[in-house]
Chains A and B, each alone.
Chain A
């Protein structure tokens, strides 16, 4: 079956670095995605990994290890506006995007 696990909640301080982990078990792995979702809003795309390694995009980086079924999202120089839920999603085969339950991040001043 398909399974994606993320921590439910994390708390960090403004200006710090936080790493949000995601482990997955899926058939037909075809890419891993991270989305940000502010309360009451739709998710917005942050990053995409299909090969092993690190993808960097400004303050956000995402890492993938396909052999371990593991990814993380790294947020640097945290800002108050980064308080949101972060969703890990896996594409299974060509069409199916399966989402984890999300990690709610609270950034404290």
Chain B
């Protein structure tokens, strides 16, 4: 069966520190992968998506970056966090050619 893992689940980071969130998908090949952010009480903002290894499309210019070093691995990074980076980060995937986007459990980031 297909599953998506996302970690860490919760983290508290100081302003100016780096960030790395990781997402892996099991049970599928060549999925399309996504990173979304949800600020408190807000909707989902599409940050990045990837249709293959090394292929990253950025939707919102900011101090975040994404990488896809392996087919089923998607990483969200920052060199220096800002207070405004706080939020609920969600990784999602969809099989290439399929329709339904499926989300991981999310990573809740608080920047102090």
Contact = CB atoms under 8 A, between A and B. Distances in A.
Interface of A: 31, 33, 41-45, 48, 50, 87, 89, 91, 95-102
Interface of A is mostly: strand
Q: Which 4 A-B pairs have the closest CB atoms?
A: A101-B43, A99-B44, A42-B103, A42-B106
Given A31-B99, A33-B100, A42-B90, A96 B46 contact: yes
B101 A45 contact: yes
Contacts, number: 47
Nearest to A8: B41
Interface string B90-108: 1010000001111111100
Nearest to B90: A42
Contacts of A95: 32, 49, 51, 57
